[in-house]
């Protein structure tokens, strides 16, 4: 026994120092990064100061822009809340995920973003607005806080927005938990400080002790209508000095398919500059209040020591017109609506960069997986933007497509956009390089007929590949 001990000691003291260090302490495998996804609702792509808006005040989003990469040509494919969020959740386009419109359930066989993260060992958490079928905990999320969805109709009372217009959006929506216990004391419908409640819930998750990396999905309602002035922001924007969009029109020149929809009824016809100025001053105030809540969430990540190992993604489910092209709502294919703000910050993401690579909201799911080393499920149609972020590619799409019910289809390449309105057999053609505000329709210009027909043929070929059942094929001429 004694000789065996002596042999062991001799062996130990004759080991190289490097081998001894390894024997004493094996290096820990780095933990996968957290993923935090912050989603606004109805935020135009031109409402971040650091990306070129000289009027709006967004200091916290400006910091994210400086610290990360902004995709200036990101789009939502289907610019209404429920289907856009379904694409985000599944990484699958609307023609294939089951949810092309309100009330349509997501196909149960699709692996959601939250489920993929859960399967990879993440805590998967949800905060805020839920506008899809079921509830978050049956879509792969482990837990929710600050859940805001329908069910509180018995507490709803008539109310008016900051413009004095009767509220028609979010009536009866209420904070609740996964067991449908309601919290009317936090307000029913939208309230002026609602973004604070969502930030509070997100911070509560962040402040927990973390044995595993987490996926935190926060869905704000701002700046969706009804627009209510946040307390303390009354003097941020003077309506009389608010510039209207350069592509402002009193009325859209034709029926685009949602001419008399709920969103369009929020402003009177014909639109006036004064009405739009009032609306924009409220809209900007709500965004600035939202910006402050984003700052609180970032501060919580830093104070908890999580920031340096967190991928943060900020975007919106779609944009909004707010007077552009004579429209108020989001049910259109113009750049102010189909485009969305998109900023990514974190490990492996270059700082203070702009990318013109076209991409979809459904690409966020596979991108986060790729950056975090999480397997991308086979059901996902979206593409990872990691090659663009790492400078390996300039783009992952040659062209992108948009759609709204049976009324609108869109194709956009690196310069040109064609919008098809099947219900009236009409098209628009825009040269985005020379006309980024889409003020000059070239579809009837004889010198651009070849480009018009080329794009229309490509769009119709794509529609056929998607088994698009919209009203007419709108043959090229």
Counting Cβ atoms within 10 Å, is residue 108 exposed (0-12), middle (13-18) or buried (19+)?
Answer: exposed
Residues of the chain with CATH 3.30.1120.10: 406-465
* Strand residues in 183-263 grouped as ranges (E): 214-219
- Residue among 191, 186, 227 at smallest CA distance from 42: 227
**Largest separation between any pair of C-alpha atoms in the chain:** 101
Lowest mean pLDDT among 55-69, 129-143, 196-210, 322-336: 129-143
The rounded percent of the chain whose pLDDT value lies above 90 is 85
pTM: predicted TM-score of the whole model, two decimal places:
0.92
Position 23 confidence tier, pLDDT thresholds 50, 70, 90? very low
Q: How many C-alpha atoms does 179 have within 13 Å on its Cβ side?
A: 1
Query: Which pLDDT band, with edges at 50, 70 and 90, does 57 fall under?
Result: very high
Q: What is the mean pLDDT of the chain?
A: 92
Beta bridge partner(s), residue 299: none
Is the sign of the CA dihedral 100, 330, 355, 313 positive or negative? negative
3: pLDDT strictly greater than 60? no
Residue 14 has pLDDT above 80, yes or no: no
Q: Confidence class of residue 392 from pLDDT cuts 50, 70 and 90? A: very high
* CATH dotted code for 406-465: 3.30.1120.10
Write out the residue limits of the CATH 3.40.720.10 domain(s) in the chain. Answer: 34-398
CB atoms within 10 A of CB 432: 16
User: Are the C-beta atoms of residues 83 and 98 closer than 8 Å to each other?
Assistant: no
Question: pLDDT tens-digit profile of 246-285?
Answer: 999 999 999 999 988 999 999 999 999 999 999 999 999 9
pLDDT at 15 over 90: no
Return all residues near 232 (Cβ < 8 A) that are at least 6 apart. Answer: none
Output the pLDDT for position 471: 57
Give pLDDT, residue 37: 98
For residue 7, the model assigns a pLDDT of 39
Domain spanning 34-398, CATH class: alpha beta
For the cut 70, the answer to whether the pLDDT of residue 20 exceeds it is no
Q: Is 326 left (phi over 0), alpha (psi -120 to 50) or beta?
A: left
């Amino acid at each position: 026994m004694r000789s065996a001990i002596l042999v062991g000691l001799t062996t130990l003291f004759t080991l190289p120092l490097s081998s001894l260090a390894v024997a004493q302490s094996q290096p820990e495998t780095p933990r996968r990064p957290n993923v935090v996804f912050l989603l606004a609702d109805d935020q135009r792509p031109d409402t971040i100061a650091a990306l070129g808006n000289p009027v709006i005040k967004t200091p916290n989003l400006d910091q994210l822009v400086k610290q990360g990469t902004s995709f200036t040509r990101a789009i939502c494919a289907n610019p209404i809340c429920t289907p856009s969020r379904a694409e985000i959740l599944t990484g699958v386009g609307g023609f294939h995920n089951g949810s092309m419109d309100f009330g349509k359930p997501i196909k149960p066989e699709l692996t959601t973003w939250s489920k993929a993260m859960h399967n990879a060992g993440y805590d998967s958490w949800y905060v805020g607005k839920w506008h899809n079928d079921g509830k978050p905990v049956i879509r792969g999320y482990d837990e929710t806080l600050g859940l805001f969805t329908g069910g509180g109709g018995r507490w709803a009372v008539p109310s008016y927005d900051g413009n004095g217009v009767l509220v028609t959006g979010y009536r009866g929506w209420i904070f609740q938990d996964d067991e449908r216990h309601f919290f009317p004391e936090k307000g029913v419908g939208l309230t002026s400080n609602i973004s604070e409640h969502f930030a509070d819930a997100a911070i509560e998750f962040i402040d927990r002790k973390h044995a595993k990396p987490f996926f935190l999905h926060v869905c704000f309602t701002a700046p969706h209508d009804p627009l209510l002035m946040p307390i303390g922001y009354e003097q941020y924007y003077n309506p009389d000095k608010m510039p209207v969009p350069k592509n402002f029109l009193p009325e859209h020149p034709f029926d685009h398919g949602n001419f008399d929809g709920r969103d369009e009824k929020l402003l009177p016809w014909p639109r006036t500059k004064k009405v739009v100025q009032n609306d924009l001053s409220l809209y900007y105030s709500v965004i600035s209040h939202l910006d402050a809540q984003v700052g609180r969430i970032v501060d919580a990540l830093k104070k908890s020591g999580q920031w340096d190992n967190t991928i943060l993604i900020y975007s919106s489910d779609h944009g909004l017109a707010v007077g552009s092209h004579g429209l108020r709502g989001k049910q259109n294919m113009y750049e102010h609506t189909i485009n969305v703000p998109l900023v990514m910050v974190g490990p492996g993401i270059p700082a203070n960069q702009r990318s013109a690579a076209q991409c979809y909201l459904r690409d966020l799911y596979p991108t986060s997986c790729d950056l975090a080393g999480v397997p991308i499920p086979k059901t996902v149609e979206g593409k990872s933007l990691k090659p663009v972020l790492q400078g390996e590619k300039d783009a992952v799409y040659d062209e992108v497509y948009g759609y709204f019910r049976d009324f609108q289809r869109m194709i956009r390449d690196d310069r040109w956009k064609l919008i098809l309105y099947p219900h009236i057999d009409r098209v628009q053609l825009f040269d985005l390089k020379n006309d980024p505000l889409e003020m000059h329709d070239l579809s009837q210009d004889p010198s651009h007929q070849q480009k018009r027909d080329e794009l229309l043929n490509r769009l119709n070929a794509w529609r056929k590949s998607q088994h698009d059942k919209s009203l007419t094929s709108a043959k090229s001429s």
